[in-house]
Amino acid sequence: MRKFSSYGPIDTEMDYYAPRKELIEKTYVQLIGENPQKGGHYFTVWAPRQTGKTWLMQQVLFGLKKDPRFHVLKINLEILKEINDVGYIIDTIAGYIGQGLEKNFTGINDPRQFQEIFNRNTIEKPLILILDEFDALEEAGINAVVSTFRNIYIHRRDEIDKTTDKKTYLLHGVALIGVRSVLGIENQKGSPFNVQRSVHVSNLTSDELEGMFKWYEKESGQKIDEEVTRALYEETRGQPGLTSWFGELLTETYNHDLKKPITMLNYKEAYGAATHILPNNNILNLISKVNKPPYDEMVMEFFKTGDKIEFKFNNKITNYLYMNGVIDQEKAAADEYYLKFSCPFVQKCLFDYFSNEIFSYLGQLIHPLDDMKDAINEEMLYIPNIIKRYQAYLTKNQGVFFKDVPRRKTDMKIYEAIYHFNIFRYLYDLLKARGVEVIPHFPTGNGKIDLILKYREKIYALELKSFKDMYAHEKGIEQAAEYGRRMNLKEVAFLVFVELNQAEAKQLEKEVENNGVKVTVLSVGIL
């Protein structure tokens, strides 16, 4: 029986997978060309990490090897990571090509020599070349190799009167996997590979994800509740690596009884373990990428709940965060694109990481003699009185706990996200021992955060917002009411962080009835 696997490329004979036949066919056609006699295309295969680029090209490779018209080689270049010697890089790639063609290509250490190994006097028939992990090369190595490919491509196009096997150079098609710097994003001198097309490997669709779990149901005979696969897609947005990892957790690690359906209880246990105790290389890699300037600053800015940030792929920081699976793009209109986190699970993991990293110790949360009877009893929570205590804590400790926190370089003000991290940690630490579950919730993926408090089988929603102006404030109240309706709640709390003193901030507080939902507006002054 097959298994879910997130450990390297999928084995189609042993693992569950999405067939992705249309994408495979599209890539196959690009390599051999719409008219193979005229030649194939030179292009990049790009996507964030763990989206299945290598697996995709393996499937294309297996199909190409059945075609006797071509030599077909796939070479992994990760071994050349951090090598700065361009001659060594060229010589190594040439050596791998020689091994694949059973030829001796040695001493090839400059672009001119490299170009000649593709001459029709050197190889017998058209060659299709797939270079995996090409983005592992240093920029100088990338430039040298793709400049050679561009020169060959143009030379072949000049020989329009010849078929592919009669041209001077027999490099029929090229696929460079994982490359975005080739397009000029990180190349200070401009792109030397502007002849290429590209193939973008997207996340799984909801139908593809569901199909993998239906496959499991058919083979195992164990039912999976539809709510589970729906929740999994919402949390991962179909990211292939995370989908398969959760598939393993649900069908193996936390699948305690094969005779019973996999339910949301299994999902909750697996999700809790995934966010607290289980290391995942994908998430650990993301944290390592954003835990340094300037990327940590961008993530801090992105966690704000006010204005959206435009998605611009030619922005080096945006490009880096996208290619490493931290962010994605949200299309708001025909010509409007904004940043959003790649999926709620990634957003939560980063939120947990930064909140714990910045506020590992909160000090005394309330006065030791405070019994909190006006804030929590055996039946319910009273959110306004909990927030009063938070305001008192913030006022008392702001000069201590916020002294060395990250600040915007433009005006040296504390990032909005810092307060969100702080209040989450405060409520979590204050209420956990009293049986309250505090859960950060990210309904849109573009920085917006709500805190869900669960107590005595009742849900309390606390929507966080930073005050901008009165117009945006009133719109925020309306949105909070709509959020409450979607959650089937009769009341929600709308907490506003205000850069005013406490007396001025209090003027914003009120209770509003909006289409059957009571919105309690609370404020926290952060001057």
Structure tokens at 6: 């997130």
Bond preceding residue 294 cis, omega within 30 of 0: yes
| Segment among 14-18, 195-199, 337-341 with least mean pLDDT | 195-199
Between CA 210 and CA 221, with CA 215 as vertex, the angle to 5 degrees is: 115
pLDDT tens digits, 413-451: 888 888 889 999 999 999 999 999 999 887 655 556 789
- Distance between CA atoms of residues 369 and 343, nearest Å: 42
In a domain, 39, yes or no: yes
250 plus 105 within the same structural domain: no
In a domain, 495, yes or no: yes
Reduce the DSSP state of residue 524 to 3 states and report it: strand
Amino acid at residue number 42? Y
453 plus 372 within the same structural domain: yes
Nearest one of 277, 230, 235, 231 to 253, comparing CA atoms = 277
pLDDT of residue 279: 80
For 104-123, what is the mean pLDDT? 95
pLDDT of residue 68: 95
- Distance between CA atoms of residues 252 and 394, nearest Å: 44
Confidence of residue 44 (pLDDT cuts 50, 70, 90): confident
416 plus 473 within the same structural domain: yes
Q: How many helices and strands (H and E) does the chain possess? A: 17, 13
Structure tokens at 25: 């066919």
For 458-478, what is the mean pLDDT? 90
- Element holding 509 (H helix, E strand): none
Phi-psi region of 178 (alpha: psi -120 to 50; beta: other; left: phi over 0): left
In a domain, 70, yes or no: yes
**Where does residue 413 rank: exposed (0-12), middle (13-18), buried (19+ CB within 10 A)?**
exposed
Q: How many CB atoms lie within 10 A of CB 458?
A: 11
For residue 405, pLDDT over 70 is answered with: yes
62 plus 96 within the same structural domain: yes
Supply φ then ψ for residue 447, to 5 degrees: 105, -25
172 plus 32 within the same structural domain: yes
- Report the CATH number at residue 118: 3.40.50.300
- Distance between CA atoms of residues 194 and 184, nearest Å: 9
In a domain, 76, yes or no: yes
For residue 227, pLDDT over 90 is answered with: yes
518 plus 371 within the same structural domain: yes
Nearest one of 203, 438, 448 to 341, comparing CA atoms = 448
- Element holding 72 (H helix, E strand): strand 71-76
Range of the domain at 497: 358-525
Structure tokens at 218: 């058919």
In percent, how much of the chain has pLDDT > 90?
59
In a domain, 322, yes or no: no
Query: Count of alpha carbons within 13 Å of 257, Cβ hemisphere only?
Result: 5
Nearest one of 275, 272, 203, 213 to 240, comparing CA atoms = 203
Q: Whose structure tokens read 């089937």? A: 488
pLDDT tens digits, 184-209: 444 555 455 555 668 889 999 999 99
pLDDT of residue 185: 42
In a domain, 311, yes or no: no
232 plus 181 within the same structural domain: no
59 plus 99 within the same structural domain: yes
Average pLDDT score over the chain: 89
What are the C-alpha distances in Å from 99 to residues 59, 75, 92, 121?
Answer: 22, 11, 11, 17
Amino acid at residue number 246? F
In a domain, 380, yes or no: yes
- Distance between CA atoms of residues 240 and 248, nearest Å: 12
Q: Of 243, 278, 313, which residue is a domain's last? A: 278
Amino acid at residue number 340? K
256 plus 149 within the same structural domain: no
Q: Of 136, 169, 200, which residue is a domain's last? A: 200
pLDDT of residue 13: 93
Nearest one of 521, 485, 247, 283 to 384, comparing CA atoms = 521
Q: Of 200, 233, 265, which residue is a domain's last? A: 200
Q: Which residues pair with 47 in a beta bridge?
A: none
For residue 517, pLDDT over 90 is answered with: yes
Nearest one of 373, 350, 377, 498 to 436, comparing CA atoms = 377
Question: Is the distance from CB of 132 to CB of 74 less than 8 angstroms?
Answer: yes
- Specify the number of domains making up the chain: 3
28 plus 151 within the same structural domain: yes
Supply φ then ψ for residue 13, to 5 degrees: -95, -15
CA-based max dimension of the chain: 91
Reduce the DSSP state of residue 254 to 3 states and report it: coil
In a domain, 323, yes or no: no
Q: How many CB atoms lie within 10 A of CB 380?
A: 12
Estimate to the nearest angstrom the gap between the alpha carbon of 44 and the chain centroid: 20
414 plus 497 within the same structural domain: yes
514 plus 365 within the same structural domain: yes
Reduce the DSSP state of residue 143 to 3 states and report it: helix
pLDDT of residue 406: 83
- Distance between CA atoms of residues 127 and 148, nearest Å: 15
pLDDT of residue 266: 96
